[in-house]
Amino acid sequence: MLEKRTPIPVTEAIDKCLKYAKYKSVTKKYYTDSLGDTLAEDIIATYDIPMFDKSPYDGFAIISESSEGATGDERKLFKVIDHIGAGHVSDVQLKDNEAVRIMTGAPIPKGADAVVMFEQTTPTEDGFTLRKTFTPGENISKQGEECKQGEIVIPKGTKITAGVIAVLATFSYEYVNVYQKPTVALIATGSELVEINEPLAPGKIRNSNGPMIASFCKAMDIEMKDYRVHGDDFDALYEVVRNALDAHDIVITTGGVSVGDFDFMPEIYNKLSAEVLFNKIAMRPGSVTTVAVSDDKFLFGLSGNPSACYTGFELYTKPVLRKMMGQNEVYPTVIKATLSEDFTKANPFTRFIRADLDYRNMKVAPSGFNKSNAVIAIAKSNSMIVLPGGTRGFKQGDTVDVLLTDLSCQDTLW
């Protein structure tokens, strides 16, 4: 008898996965080697920034009171008594109508409380004149105005980007605690599959899911073992999956999760005594995407159909990978955009359509032939249109949800 599967909503399926996703252990890395990792500690300001009151301009430091009443007709005269660039400290104590010639980044001399830009002055023999009143604090970057010593400036769980590296350098985090990334095993299942350089005999097709998922792992800098293609032989496939599960945190398979005579994954989960979190989701494509857990390990049974495989990876595998590597932001980003062509098909389940989002005009359209078995539309997409289940007849001009994806792997370059 055919097993009856009960579909669950997409959001419930994502949350079921995330509930089981555990952080990996923490390791220390040299800060420039941590690009793309996730912070396992809060980054704390080790001093105020700026560290001292400083000049944001090339100009003159003055006592603001000395400029009081200055106008175009009644210019105030200042005498320059010292000259400093960034990295140097003036030891003069300013008096009325005195100024220090000061460059951007240099500390404000004692007594001064304003900075006049060169452009606001007219030179004289030993100084300059100016034509407006300056207020106390004008043109001064105050100590601690960006952050104060002891403040958490970047919280734990943040992905380390070039900007975060700049902050690590600023506060001398030469070695930083990051989460270890999970390791992945990748198995493409199906007796029809041949690799890129093998002959395409009748009935055979190329394995495209394997290289696609491998590329995601590569972009994420995740240690991945590619077990390549395995035919539909239960015992052999069971052995490969079992060994892969012993050696890795996550086993990703593609194909063999539906109800076909050679779809062996359900029976393999059973024999492994893995807990199946779900095997049917109210979505298209990828409704048969199956996720199982065994101890702290995950088995992602992605569908064989390329668009379904891709959608399953984006919706379930990516958030789990993000959580396991300690990231705070794990859910996909969904925005609104305007549909630029009609989409009249019925959507019994939530439908995900590989799509081309025009960011400039916030218009979106399917990125080509969009059935579950399509491969080209994946390559041409930068997003997925999300149409709710139980609807039909979306028209050009309708506002729709759009899930942002990133096949260029900029986002996933962790």
Ligand X SMILES: Nc1nc2c(c(=O)[nH]1)N[C@H]1C(S)=C(S)[C@@H](COP(=O)(O)OP(=O)(O)OC[C@H]3O[C@@H](n4cnc5c(N)ncnc54)[C@H](O)[C@@H]3O)O[C@H]1N2
Phi, psi of 191 (to 5 degrees): -70, -15
Task: Indicate the residue among 303 and 383 with the shorter CB distance to ligand MOO.
Answer: 303
Least separation in angstroms between CB 190 and Mg ion: 8
Stretch that binds ligand X, among 130-138, 203-211, 271-279, 338-346 (CB under 6 A): 203-211
How far apart are alpha carbons 377 and 380 in whole angstroms?
5
Work out whether 254 is an interface residue with ligand X (CB under 6 A). yes
| Contact of 62 with 115, CB cutoff 8 Å | yes
How far apart are alpha carbons 118 and 116 in whole angstroms?
6
The Cβ-side half-sphere exposure at 354, using a 13 Å CA radius, reads: 27
Q: How many helices (H) and strands (E) does the chain have?
A: 8, 26
The entry of ligand MOO, ligand X, Mg ion, none near residue 136 (CB within 5 to 8 angstroms by kind) is: none
Phi, psi of 181 (to 5 degrees): -85, 150
Task: Indicate the residue among 170 and 372 with the shorter CB distance to ligand MOO.
Answer: 372
List the structure tokens of 345.
């098909």
Stretch that binds ligand X, among 32-40, 83-91, 127-135, 257-265 (CB under 6 A): 257-265
User: 210, 266, 312, 319: which one contacts ligand X (CB under 6 A)?
Assistant: 210
Residues 268-307: x where in contact with ligand X by CB under 6 A, - otherwise, as a string:
-----------------x-xx--------------xxxx-
Please tell me what DSSP assigns to residue 134: P
Least separation in angstroms between CB 181 and ligand X: 24
Work out whether 38 is an interface residue with ligand X (CB under 6 A). no
User: 67, 141, 209, 381: which one contacts ligand X (CB under 6 A)?
Assistant: 209
| Contact of 283 with 388, CB cutoff 8 Å | no
Task: Indicate the residue among 208 and 338 with the shorter CB distance to ligand X.
Answer: 208
Q: For the chain, what is the radius of gyration of the CA atoms?
A: 31
| Contact of 47 with 149, CB cutoff 8 Å | yes
Judged by the rule CB under 6 A, the positions of this chain that interact with ligand X are: 188, 190, 192-193, 205, 207-210, 254-260, 263, 285, 287-288, 303-306, 308, 372-373
Judged by the rule CB under 5 A, the positions of this chain that interact with Mg ion are: 258, 260, 263
